[in-house]
Amino acid sequence: RYCHILDPRTGYSPSHYSSVTTVAANCAEADAWSTALFICDLASVKDELKRRNIDWLIVTSDGRILKSAGIKVDLPARIDLTKKS
């Protein structure tokens, strides 16, 4: 399965996250950081996102939901990605 984002190190779509959302001051910054976060692992950019006041929400490939402290929505810890709607 492939998506429109490709990891320049491998040439393949990243497989560790199913979804990445960022909330930033403007849409261009949010788009750039969500793409970067999709390719990088969270630990490598977490401090920079916090410094820039960018919130994030990630669904991992196994359905875990991770979010920054600024995301105030109550979400389950995991979702079932095998269900088809």
Listed residue (52, 58, 47, 59) closest to 24, CA to CA? 52
Query: pLDDT by residue (tens digit) across 17-51?
Result: 989 999 999 999 999 999 999 998 889 999 999 99
CA angle 25, 64, 7 (to 5 degrees): 65
The pLDDT mean for the chain works out to 90
Listed residue (61, 11, 70, 9) closest to 40, CA to CA? 9
pLDDT value at residue 85: 61
pTM: 0.84
d(CA 31, CA 45): 15
d(CA 83, CA 70): 29
pLDDT value at residue 56: 96
Which has more confidence, 84 or 81?
81
Give the DSSP H or E segment for 19: strand 17-23
